[in-house]
Structure formats: structure tokens, C-alpha cells
Structure 1
């Protein structure tokens, strides 16, 4: 399942014009070089300037020089990637990047209407994502890790290097005499992902040399299981209604009830309950045998409340105090 860099690019067939997310690091530099050579005149680059470190201006200069040499149009998106209380810096930066990519794709001043966006995460990034999910006790959605292709905001998104080891990407660049910039935060051991990269991946390589392939298969199995759970949740939500009827929810088994509640909250109210919150909500539903039983429970970013024979959801700012 692991691929060489050239093999991965041969298998990559995006809708054109294509934009490449260009950080200036080895992975995105290699991806842009390969795509620009394969589809001349059909490729753009998007650089997100996070403004979180002094080296950020150097990243932008590298991207500007590279794109000028390749004659590839470059959009620079400056974002505020500071994290909110309770939010990880990595999560805040990731959300800021996606918003920036979408804004760049919708920019009417762009040379051509972008149809696809390619991101440069590789096989080692996928393993790190899976290990992080395991460390957090994630369910199948988290264990599915990163998809190779998906649709969002009217765009097709791709990760064509997801089966290519990180070392193979750098070898491809070195063979062509190409330079890239190194993010100094990649060496910061305060970040869990960096500790995984520095300590766990070498140990896995020594103990299980095929770990990239086997981990990828496990993530694929988890993705299939998650897709099945989504289908069941859609069917169950159609049956219990929106907002859900308490009686119909109580008639479901524990696992299906949890599945449809999680799906309802995420799809309808854009919030995800924690495991303890979901268990507490199911406990309240089990006890909800009389008309007088109240439900008013903090879940995600708001409150699940009883509204007659239905479950409702209100934002935290508008919910009554408990």
C-alpha cells in the first residue's frame, strides 16, 4: 500500500484548475513542483501566513521565490491562528488554514476558478494522526484518521501523498537539488505530535517495519465502519424526527441511541458531545418515563433540554442557568 512519490503523483487525477497548499516545507514544496510540472498553467499555490512565529516571514519569502521561478500564481492568506481557551494550538491553526484555503478559492481576482485543492500530508502524518486519536480514546471517526479525498465548500480536496513515507518525499527533493524551509516548531517536544515523530516512529520502524501499511489498513477499516454508522444514524434520525421524539429515542438500543444522538447534535447543531456528556444524556433519557421529568444538560457548546415530548438544543448563552 505504501507508494513512491512518483507513483502517488501518477495516480493523482484532480479536477483542474488545481491549488496546492504551500507552507514552504519539504512536503508541500515537492507537491507543488510535481503538480506544476505535470499540469503547466493549471496550477496555483496558496500560502497561509499564520503570524505565530518569527520564521513565518521566511516561509512566505521561500514560497514567493519558488512560485516566481515556476511561474505559478501565488495567493498569500494572512490569518489569526491564536487558539481560544480550551482549544489546542494545532486545532486552531488547522481551522484557520481551511478557512483561508476556502477564501482563496472563492477569490474572484484569482487567475482561474479553483476546482480542487491538494494538501501535502504524507504516510507518517497519517500514522501520527492515528496515534493521537488512540491516545485520546477516539471512536471510529477519529481512528479513520485523514481521508485521501473529500468534498467541502464546493471544492474537491485531495491528499495525494498520504501513502508516501516522509523520507521518500525528502529524497525526491534532494535528488532534484531542491531546497525547502524547516519549521523550527517541528523540533519542539512540548507538542505531542513532535514527540510521536521523534520517539515513537523510530521505535515502530524498528519493531514493525510495515507499520505504515498495517496502520493504514486499520484506518481504512475504521473509515468503513464510520460510514456505516453514518448511514444508520441518518435512517434513525429520519425515524425519530428533528427535533428527536423522546419516546422514539427510548425505543432504540443503547448503541443506536448514542449514535443517533451524536449525529443529531453534530449535523443539526454543529456540536459534538463528550463521552461523559453523552452517557449522562442517555441516563436522563432512561429516567424520562413521566411528563414531569426535566432534562437540562450541558452538551458540547450548549444545552440539551426537554421540550414537551421532544429533545431540544439551545446555545449556552441563551440557556437557563442550572
Structure 2
């Protein structure tokens, strides 16, 4: 019987290299195997070289007696015109990591984001006008696509991760996109974050607390939406106007957003929620959505996907 194993999302950068090294050392003591899961995005000329460097790093760890193996996935296709490269790469990366985890028999994958990553995410979400779901940023633990995704270093500062990779003796790759100010996160990291920390040294810790409080608020909103669904959602999945209209305004908004979420996995526009809240009286009408239409029929609201989404 093969040993129990854990996966590490391994880009080859500083954070994932440190996480792989620390995980491998702990796994050796626990009798676990470790899979380094590397995704080739196909977006940069350096990507082929990063795969080779990943193989070198894993070989070095193996020669040091650490139980590490490498698995590589290649993302197909390219972002559509006008599509966010960051969003496309993120979606593709997690899908590929989930497939790698399944092929390696893993149900746990570790991710290397740290406290500053979390703080940056909170700031970016705030600048996009996000509510509690966005401000909650990255969860410490989440189950998705049959995998438990865990971020053990979400409360650790970047300096500790840098110290760990220095101690490992491994050479991480340098991704030039991290310094490319065409990307919002890179602009924040290069131009805003240093000044912010200079004047507010505890920024990462405080913004991490914002994420924690927002996550609690989101969890509470989800619990209330689940209760309101029982009274307001019909057996065929439609949202019933009369029962919904009896809720308080905050609960109407909360339930409407929760009801819409499965139909709009790319995110529910706030403008759509606002329009329906303002305009729906139970009578027949319809509203366009990113993936189809909302239709009001006989005091019940339904989602109708567009022909290309069916």
C-alpha cells in the first residue's frame, strides 16, 4: 500500500519553494509522500524553463532523502480577447491542480499564500467595491472539486517565507509578471504597499483581521440565506415573490444574491441585484444577466440561460 500523500501547489517561486521544502521535511518525519504539483500556463517564454527548474529542485530534495515527486499539467488554450489574463490563469490553474491531485490520489493540497498576499487581496477587493464575500479574501481552508485546499501560512509574514527558502538552498524562479505594472496586484505590490507599510507597519496584520471579520459576516449571511430559501424558493427552483417580499430589505438582498450565485459563477453584478430589488413587483418582466435572462412569471423569478450557455 503506498504511503499517504499531500500535494503542494508548486510554481517554483519563492513562496511555493519554501512551502515545498518545509512540507517535505515534515512529511519525512510523518511517513508521508509529497507531490509537487506544477502548472505550465503557456503564457510566458520562461514557462518551459520553469518546468526544468522544478524537476531540478525535486531531484535535489529527493537526493537529500525527502519524499518528493513532481507532477506537471499544461493549460490548454489562451485567454479570450478582453478577458483578464490573471482571472483566466487562476481559474485554469485551480482546475489543473484539482486534476493533478485526482491523478496522484490526493485529497489535500497546500497553497503558499502568506499574510501580505492576503492583505493585498483585501485591498484589491475593497477597491473593486466588494462586500463581505470579497473582503473575506482567501480562506484558510476550503473544500472544492473533491480537494481540500489549505493555506498554512496565511498568517505568516513574507520575511519568514523568504528565510525558509534561503535555508532550503533551493533556487526559486523569478516570474517577471510579478513586477509588471500592467497587472493590478503588481501595481499594488510595487508602488502602493511599500508606502503603506512605511506609514502603517501593522497593515498586513490589520487587513488580515478585516478578512477574518468579513469571512464571519459572509458565513452568517450564508446561514440566513439558507433559512430563507426554505420559505422563498419553489420546488422547481424559482424565487417566489410574495414570500421574498415579506423579508426585511437586507434579507431580500442577501437571498437574491445567494439565489443568483449558482447561475452566475463569474460573479453577480451589483447593478443587477439593485435593479431587481428596485423593479421586481412580481409582475411579468425580464432582466439581462451575463449568462442569460431573469424572467418573472406568475410572481416567481426564474433564470433562463442564453442559448450558448445551454
The two structures share one fold, judged by TM-score above 0.5: yes
Q: Which residue of 2 aligns with 1:43?
A: 34
Q: 1:167-193: CA deviations, max 9, x gaps?
A: 321122223433111001111111110
Residue 57 of structure 1 deviates from its aligned partner by: 0.9
For residues 181 and 154 of structure 2, what CA distance do their matches in structure 1 show? 24
SS in 2 for 1:73: strand
SS in 1 for 2:268: coil
Q: Which residue of 1 aligns with 2:65?
A: none
Q: Which residue of 2 aligns with 1:310?
A: 300
- The unaligned stretches of length 5 or more in structure 1 are 1-14
Q: Does 1:97 align with 2:90?
A: no
Residue 272 of structure 1 deviates from its aligned partner by: 3.4
For residues 298 and 56 of structure 2, what CA distance do their matches in structure 1 show? 63
Q: Which residue of 2 aligns with 1:256?
A: 251
For residues 178 and 236 of structure 1, what CA distance do their matches in structure 2 show? 53
Q: Which residue of 2 aligns with 1:82?
A: 78
> Contact 2:263–2:303 at 8 Å: present in 1 too?
no
Structure 1 stretch displaced more, 293-302 or 51-60:
293-302
- The unaligned stretches of length 5 or more in structure 2 are 63-67
Residue 258 of structure 1 deviates from its aligned partner by: 1.2
Give the counterpart of 1:70 among 48, 61, 64. 61
User: 1:78-227 residue pairs with structure 2 within 5 A?
Assistant: 78-80=74-76, 82-107=78-103, 110=104, 113-227=105-219
Residue 69 of structure 1 deviates from its aligned partner by: 2.1
For residues 96 and 138 of structure 2, what CA distance do their matches in structure 1 show? 19
> Contact 2:13–2:174 at 8 Å: present in 1 too?
yes
> Contact 1:303–1:316 at 8 Å: present in 2 too?
yes
SS in 1 for 2:239: coil
Q: Which residue of 2 aligns with 1:32?
A: 20
Residue 318 of structure 1 deviates from its aligned partner by: 7.2
For residues 102 and 30 of structure 1, what CA distance do their matches in structure 2 show? 21
For residues 297 and 231 of structure 1, what CA distance do their matches in structure 2 show? 27
Residue 16 of structure 1 deviates from its aligned partner by: 4.7
Q: Which residue of 2 aligns with 1:12?
A: none
Give the counterpart of 1:58 among 30, 49, 52. 49
For residues 272 and 34 of structure 1, what CA distance do their matches in structure 2 show? 36
Residue 308 of structure 1 deviates from its aligned partner by: 2.1
- Number of matched pairs: 296
For residues 6 and 72 of structure 2, what CA distance do their matches in structure 1 show? 16
Q: Which residue of 2 aligns with 1:10?
A: none
Q: Are the structure 2 counterparts of residues 27 and 81 from structure 1 closer, same or farther at C-alpha, using a change threshold of 3 Å?
A: farther
For residues 219 and 139 of structure 1, what CA distance do their matches in structure 2 show? 11
Q: Are the structure 2 counterparts of residues 272 and 174 from structure 1 closer, same or farther at C-alpha, using a change threshold of 3 Å?
A: closer
Q: TM-score, normalised by structure 1?
A: 0.87
